[in-house]
């Protein structure tokens, strides 16, 4: 005789926290309109991921999400869920269309956890206690993509220590030895009074899970999606661990 058993809410909560909290995932777009992903078929994960849209096509970049401690919900309807997360992909407005047939969520590949100290900075800048947000990195000594930072300048930027940087988006594929640069042109665009000179700093510590690059889940769109003229597509992820066993 088959009977139904229910796993305790605290046990499910522990499973979710151990597996997902403080973990990063990359949303990736796949352009394989004739392919139907079947996880039961050997090699299907690799085949799907090889169909990823080339980075930069129509402005395409992977979209990174992270689960935090506060994202774990309460027990309801037979399980515990994580807060809904969104991955967003925007066309750059150029002449090349961004086309895709699937969206995949992948265990992320080396994200930035902390930043190193500033080693070079413009000669001076206007004091800005509220700071600047979501500033892109103009160049890196490595292969990382997607890191953005928030910047606060104190004491008119008289010293490198007056430039306080925090991570806005963690990006992916960075290394702890990478040197990062925000050019003087980008800084001047934020505040014309910023003095001459680039802002240079390094990656501090990184998140590099053992399962980096492995497929977590994927979905096929009803038909091929084409993004043009600066339009964007968003995908919402709802993760829930159920606690019912038959």
Q: What is the pTM of this model?
A: 0.88
Spatial contact of 18 and 209, defined as CB atoms under 8 Å apart = no
Tens place of pLDDT per residue across the chain (246 aa): 788 888 999 999 999 999 999 999 999 999 999 999 999 999 999 999 999 999 999 999 999 999 999 999 999 998 999 999 999 999 999 999 999 999 999 999 999 999 999 999 888 766 565 678 999 999 999 999 999 999 988 877 678 888 899 999 999 999 998 999 999 999 888 888 787 889 999 999 999 999 999 999 999 999 999 999 999 999 999 999 998 776
What does the block give as tokens for 105?
A: 């969520």
Domain boundaries, the chain: 5-108+209-245, 111-206
């Amino acid at each position: 005789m088959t009977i139904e058993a229910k796993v305790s809410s605290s046990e499910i909560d522990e499973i979710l926290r151990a597996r997902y909290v403080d973990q990063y995932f990359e949303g990736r777009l796949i352009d394989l309109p004739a392919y139907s992903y079947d996880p039961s078929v050997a090699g299907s994960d690799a085949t799907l991921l090889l169909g990823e849209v080339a980075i930069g096509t129509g402005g395409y970049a992977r979209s990174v999400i992270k689960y935090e401690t506060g994202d774990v919900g309460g027990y309801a309807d037979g399980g515990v869920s994580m807060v809904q997360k969104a991955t967003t992909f925007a066309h750059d407005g150029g002449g090349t269309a961004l086309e895709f047939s699937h969206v995949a969520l992948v265990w992320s590949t080396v994200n930035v956890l902390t930043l190193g100290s500033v080693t070079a900075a413009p000669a001076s800048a206007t004091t800005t206690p509220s700071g600047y947000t979501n500033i892109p990195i103009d160049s890196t000594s490595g292969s990382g993509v997607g890191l953005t930072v928030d910047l606060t300048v104190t004491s008119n930027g008289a010293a490198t220590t007056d430039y306080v940087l925090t991570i806005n988006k963690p990006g992916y594929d960075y290394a702890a030895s990478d040197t990062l640069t925000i050019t003087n042109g980008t800084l001047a665009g934020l505040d014309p009074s910023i003095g001459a000179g680039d802002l240079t700093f390094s990656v501090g510590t990184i998140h590099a899970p053992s399962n980096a690059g492995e497929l977590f889940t994927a979905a096929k769109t009803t038909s091929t999606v084409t993004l043009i003229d600066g339009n964007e597509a968003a995908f919402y992820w709802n993760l829930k661990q159920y606690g019912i066993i038959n």
